[in-house]
Amino acid sequence: ASIVAEAGATLQAVQKAADGAGLMFGVDLGARGSATIGGNVATNAGGIRVLRYGMYRAQVLGLEAVLADGSVLTSLKGLPKDNSGYDLGQLFIGAEGTLGVVTRAALRLHPKPASEVNAFCAVSSLDAAIALLGLLRQKLGPLLSAYEVNFAPLYDLIVASMAMPAPLPAGSPVYVLAEIQGSEPDRDSERFAEVLMQAVEDGVVDDVVVSQSPREVRALWNVREDANRVLFSIKGLISVDISIPLTRMGAFLREADAAIHTDDPGADIYVFGHLGDGNLHYQVRTVDPAAAYDIVYRGVAAAGGGVSAEHGIGFDKKKWLHLVRSDAEIATMRRLKAALDPRNILNRGRVFDLNPTAFCR
């Protein structure tokens, strides 16, 4: 099943249309009410269910895009398999509007899950959170649809400002929100509970609360989304969107924390994100933002990560792109840009700057 959406449609509108047809769209973001399909395609948006459904690229069955010379490329047939020459639509996904303007997209839809259950867990460390992720993947396979993490002291701040009772007491080092989606409500819930109880008995999980109704599912997600409200209220906060291999994440967090506090002993660090796919949202309140950016991005590069997991490069991250992309990769990006937009009129200056020689003929 698929749906064709214009670039200006919101993610929420696509979700609502899919729901009305008894289906679901695989991407969800906190900004669902304002994020547009064109913007989502341009940044290859991720969100909370990449673990199950993949990035936006995995949702796109075809695109319509306008090139810099006015040519219109249309491939909206929605074929799951079509190797008839180059897949030109893929060029525009994640290109941040620098190669063409996306006007419509054919998007993949999925069966609506008959069961949706989530659990909020307190764990003692990142290692325990990673161990729980491994256990849930091993025991539940594709049932696992989301796996979010929240590090102290961010959860403590959220709890202090919540109007509703907190799902678990503050004070633990790490909190995890895990979700399953399946087709057998009774059996799915039972399997999920069994694995979680085993994790408690094995000492992987210190405390856990499991949703018992759709209202409770939403309430636990609201706690996760409350992170943005709390962080937006903190003045002078820098925020980065990074991806780190799970095997290097602990070392990265320790080293970045130590380096930031060496530079600014009074700095506050707040971290949450999509642990299932290695994407962290890392925030720092500091008197030295430039040093914090440098520490984080160089640490990401040393860990073999990405300086933008799901928000794109734009203007702000251009100076860091060379840390995670080779000269050959960036040169190839420039060649694509020069070929498709020779006058440099599409989102000029985003992602990278073009060499003046790029337009010499």
**Partners of residue 174 on adjacent β-strands:** 123, 151
Q: What per-residue confidence (pLDDT) applies to 227?
A: 87
| Spatial contact of 162 and 226, defined as CB atoms under 8 Å apart | yes
Please report, for the chain, the start and end positions of each structural domain, with discontinuous segments joined by +. Answer: 2-111, 115-229, 234-322
For 218-267, the pLDDT digits (tens) are: 999 988 888 888 898 888 899 999 999 999 999 999 999 999 999 999 99
Q: What per-residue confidence (pLDDT) applies to 186?
A: 87
For 310-355, the pLDDT digits (tens) are: 888 998 899 999 999 999 999 999 999 999 999 999 999 999 888 7
Residue 124 has pLDDT above 90, yes or no: yes
**Alpha-carbon gap, residue 189 to 143, rounded angstroms:** 10
pTM strictly above 0.75: yes
Q: Just give the CATH number of 2-111.
A: 3.30.465.10
Of 326, 327, 352, nearest to 338 by C-alpha is: 352
- The tokens describing 18, both together, are 């899919």
**Alpha-carbon gap, residue 3 to 28, rounded angstroms:** 16
Residue 358 has pLDDT above 60, yes or no: no
- Cβ burial of 58 (10 Å; 0-12, 13-18, 19+) is middle
**Alpha-carbon gap, residue 351 to 201, rounded angstroms:** 48
Residue 82 has pLDDT above 80, yes or no: yes
The percentage of residues in the chain with a pLDDT greater than 70, rounded to a whole number, is 98
**Alpha-carbon gap, residue 104 to 129, rounded angstroms:** 39
**Alpha-carbon gap, residue 105 to 107, rounded angstroms:** 6
Quick one: pLDDT band at residue 357, thresholds 50, 70, 90? low
Residue 56 has pLDDT above 60, yes or no: yes
Range 234-322 classified under CATH 3.30.70.2740: yes
First-to-final CA distance of the chain: 46
Buried b (16+ CB within 10 A) or exposed e, 119-133: bbbbbeebebbbbbb
For 38-41, which contacts have Cβ atoms below 8 Å and span 24 or more sequence positions? 38/6, 38/7, 38/8, 38/101, 38/102, 38/103, 38/105, 39/7, 40/11, 41/7, 41/92, 41/93, 41/102, 41/105
For 293-316, the pLDDT digits (tens) are: 999 999 999 999 999 998 889 988
**Alpha-carbon gap, residue 361 to 348, rounded angstroms:** 20
Preceding peptide of 153 cis, ω within 30°? yes
Mean model confidence pLDDT for the chain: 93
3-class secondary-structure state, position 316: coil
Q: Just give the CATH number of 115-229.
A: 3.30.70.2190
Alpha carbon of 237 to those of 118, 130, 138, 155, 287: distances in Å? 30, 27, 38, 17, 10
For 190-222, the pLDDT digits (tens) are: 999 999 999 999 999 999 999 999 999 999 998
Q: What per-residue confidence (pLDDT) applies to 162?
A: 83
Of 73, 89, 71, nearest to 342 by C-alpha is: 71
Mean pLDDT of the 41-60 span: 92
**Alpha-carbon gap, residue 116 to 107, rounded angstroms:** 22
Q: For CA atoms 109, 30, 216, 190, give the dihedral sign.
A: positive
| Spatial contact of 174 and 204, defined as CB atoms under 8 Å apart | no
2-111 and 234-322 share one fold: no
